[in-house]
Amino acid sequence: MADVAKGAGCSVGAVYHHFRDKKALLYALFGRVSDDFRATTREAVDPVRWEGAAIADILEGYLDFTLELGRARPGFQRAGLEASLRDEKVRANLAAANAELESGLMELLLSRRHEIGHSDPELAIVFVLAQLRSMLETRLDDVLLESQLEARPDEIFVRETLRSVCAYLEIASHAETPASRSEEA
């Protein structure tokens, strides 16, 4: 609590005036971040925002959004993981916020199922979202989950990630338009 008070520029007593203990502070912190994340998620997956956008555009937006959010709050992912391992309330709150994002993405992508060449679009989207989540977790965790991709700029990470998931979904990525595919054939 002394470190928190020092970081906030106030006395330890002032911190305890607002939070009875570390657990109350933890709940308040994760609650606030979770509320912000949910509000941002609602904006990010609003179908009106993506009118006329292709699946590759939506996935690129998701990658950019998540990388930006992760970079804006360094260490939050790890702190959230550690806190959720110790506390069911934090785990449930973070899981609900992530489920809201995935549900919104799922709806957006399924509304464009006609773009997907994979024989089972719903299953393919589930796999793609899990793949992207894992890749982003690895990308944003520079301590526990080392990767050879760390040295690459985000632009290359996003471009190559899109190429990978677009190939699996059997859709055109930004790097590969339908015209360029037919020219190669």
**Does residue 138 lie in a domain region?**
yes
**Does residue 5 lie in a domain region?**
no
Answer whether 110's CB lies under 8 Å from 50's CB.
no
Average pLDDT of span 108-126 = 96
Answer whether 124's CB lies under 8 Å from 116's CB.
yes
Taking the CA atoms of residue 50, residue 52, residue 55 and residue 59 in that order, the dihedral angle to the nearest 10 degrees is -30
Domain that holds residue 147: 30-184
Q: How far apart are CA 181 and CA 126, in angstroms?
A: 25
pLDDT tier at 112, thresholds 50, 70, 90:
very high
**Does residue 15 lie in a domain region?**
no
**Does residue 124 lie in a domain region?**
yes
Q: How far apart are CA 133 and CA 2, in angstroms?
A: 35
Global confidence as pTM: 0.77
Q: What is the DSSP letter of 45?
A: T
**Does residue 14 lie in a domain region?**
no
CA nearest to 120, candidates 107, 110, 133: 110
**Does residue 176 lie in a domain region?**
yes
Q: Is the dihedral of CA 151, 154, 137, 29 positive or negative?
A: positive
Average pLDDT of span 117-123 = 97
Q: How many domains does the chain have?
A: 1
Range among 17-26, 91-100, 127-136 with highest mean pLDDT value:
127-136
Domain containing 133 — which CATH number? 1.10.357
**Does residue 20 lie in a domain region?**
no
Q: How far apart are CA 180 and CA 175, in angstroms?
A: 9
**Does residue 63 lie in a domain region?**
yes
